[in-house]
């Protein structure tokens, strides 16, 4: 299987002013593309894995040949994380989830406001590069978690339903060192209907 860079589901300018066009070009066309290219190069040496999906590779990463684990963790994780991230962003974002998704968030965290506060705090607590997630854990319960670098929640048996990229290349051109401004603006471009589908 040869993995491919997915096209963005919107124009590069669609998320402005919250995420600028230059960042989107560099982030998608350069960084994400590099993960795909390096993943395919690593897997080319293991034709026996050609039928494996990206989800399977990440879920069973400990079963892979030792020399392949780091390339799949870094580049497979990067490909999976970004492929979801692009879809979770939209120019026509509702300001909050509704229906069953909202009910589940309120039941788990107490209120949507508390959830936002805890998610934001988790994002600000990530040292260096990484991600903050809302996931379904192995008991199908909503949890906030963070991962370092390009690690995927799939590797620990969790299913990501909301993701925020905290690598500097995701925001530094526009926000410089003001990560909190980037995180706060993220709430204005979330594709909540997709999150509801994933949950």
Domain-located, residue 65: yes
Domain-located, residue 140: yes
Tally of structural domains, the chain? 1
The verdict on whether residue 32 carries a ligand-binding annotation is no
The verdict on whether residue 82 carries a ligand-binding annotation is yes
pTM recorded for the entire structure: 0.97
Distances (CA, A) of 34 to 30, 79, 100, 129: 6, 9, 38, 17
Domain-located, residue 5: no
Across the chain, mean pLDDT equals: 97
Domain-located, residue 112: yes
Instruction: Please say if the pLDDT value at position 182 is more than 70.
Output: yes
Domain-located, residue 136: yes
Tens-place pLDDT, residues 74-130:
999 999 999 999 999 999 999 999 999 999 999 999 999 999 999 999 999 999 999
Which DSSP state fits 7?
A: P
Give the residue numbers spanning the domain of 117: 20-199
Distance of alpha carbon 137 from alpha carbon 144, whole angstroms: 10
Residue for token digits 């926000």? Answer: 175
End-to-end CA distance of the chain: 28
List residues bridging with 148 in a β-sheet: 130
Distance of alpha carbon 73 from alpha carbon 167, whole angstroms: 16
Domain-located, residue 10: no
Tens-place pLDDT, residues 135-176:
999 999 999 999 999 999 999 999 999 999 999 999 999 999
Read off the pLDDT band of 3 (50, 70, 90): very high
Tens-place pLDDT, residues 45-76:
999 998 899 999 999 999 999 999 999 999 99
Domain-located, residue 173: yes
The verdict on whether residue 169 carries a ligand-binding annotation is yes
Read off the pLDDT band of 1 (50, 70, 90): low
191: domain CATH number is 3.55.40.20
Domain-located, residue 7: no
DSSP 41-58: HHHTT-GGGTT--HHHHH
């Amino acid at each position: 299987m040869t993995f491919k860079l997915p096209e963005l589901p919107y124009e590069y300018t669609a998320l402005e002013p919250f995420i600028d066009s230059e960042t989107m070009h560099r982030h998608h066309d350069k960084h994400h593309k590099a993960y795909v290219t390096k993943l395919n190069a690593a897997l080319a040496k293991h034709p026996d894995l050609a039928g494996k999906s990206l989800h399977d590779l990440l879920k069973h990463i400990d079963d892979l040949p030792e020399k392949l684990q780091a390339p799949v963790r870094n580049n497979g994780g990067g490909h999976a994380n970004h492929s979801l991230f692009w879809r979770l962003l939209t120019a026509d974002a509702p300001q909050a989830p509704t229906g069953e998704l909202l009910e589940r968030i309120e039941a788990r965290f107490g209120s949507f406001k508390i959830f936002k506060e805890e998610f934001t705090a988790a994002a600000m607590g990530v040292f260096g590069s990484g991600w903050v997630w809302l996931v379904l854990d192995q008991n199908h319960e909503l949890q906030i978690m963070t991962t370092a670098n390009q690690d995927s929640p799939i590797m620990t048996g969790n299913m990501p339903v909301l993701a925020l990229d905290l690598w500097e290349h995701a925001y530094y051109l526009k926000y410089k060192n003001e990560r909190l401004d980037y995180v706060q603006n993220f709430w204005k471009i979330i594709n909540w209907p997709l999150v509801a589908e994933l949950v």
